């Protein structure tokens, strides 16, 4: 008689486990009307996002054209004579495009004009041999506005 309750408990445990399995498997709800509406609004949101992305793509070429036009208005400093023109004619903002030249150095260069030779930059406060070499490295690499290079060359 003692084995009977143990057998009953095993059967009871089996039924409980089976009941949990059935409950878990059947717990996935069918799509209700609200869930269908939610899916519909998600599709509408996705369509709105796609439309926005398309609009952004249409705007990008305009931005790219404006950037390209800005690049067209710039030229590379071809030689040391052109660099000398830039040093004598460019405003401080343009001088900041040169390597090794920040706002303070650009203002010092503007104050030291006219500059007869590039090596005369050594007389400008804040410019030593290393910085002069950095500035000279702009030849063939740095782009400046065309208007600056179109100016008359500095008199020597």
Question: What pLDDT digit, counting tens, does each position of 30-64 carry?
Answer: 555 554 444 445 777 777 777 777 666 666 565 55
Among the listed residues 134, 51, 129, the one whose alpha carbon sits nearest the alpha carbon of residue 97: 134
**Per-residue tokens: 15:** 């039924």
Q: Which residue has the tokens 């100016």?
A: 151
| Token output for 145 | 């506005």
Question: Considering the entire predicted model, what is its pTM?
Answer: 0.53
DSSP string, 64-86: HHHHHHHHHTEEE--SHHHHHHH
Q: In terms of residues, how long is the chain?
A: 156
Q: pLDDT tens digits for 82-105?
A: 999 999 999 999 999 999 999 999
Three-class secondary structure of residue 119 per DSSP: helix
Residue 34 belongs to what H/E stretch?
A: helix 33-72
Q: Give Cα separations from 132 to 9, 138, 145 (angstroms).
A: 93, 10, 21
pLDDT (average), residues 68-75? 66
């Amino acid at each position: 008689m003692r084995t009977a309750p143990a057998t009953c408990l095993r059967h009871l445990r089996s039924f409980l486990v089976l009941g949990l399995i059935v409950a878990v498997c059947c717990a996935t709800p069918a799509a209700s009307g609200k869930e269908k509406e939610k899916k519909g609004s998600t599709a509408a949101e996705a369509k709105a996002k796609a439309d926005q992305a398309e609009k952004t793509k249409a705007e990008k070429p305009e931005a790219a054209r404006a950037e390209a036009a800005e690049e067209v208005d710039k030229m590379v400093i071809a030689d040391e004579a052109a660099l000398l023109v830039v040093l004598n004619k460019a405003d401080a903002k343009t001088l900041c495009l040169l390597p090794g030249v920040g706002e303070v150095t650009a203002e010092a260069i503007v104050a030291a004009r006219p500059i007869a030779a590039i090596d005369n930059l050594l007389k400008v406060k804040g410019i030593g041999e290393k910085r002069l070499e950095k500035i000279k490295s702009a030849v063939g690499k740095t782009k400046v506005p065309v208007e600056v290079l179109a100016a008359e060359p500095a008199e020597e």
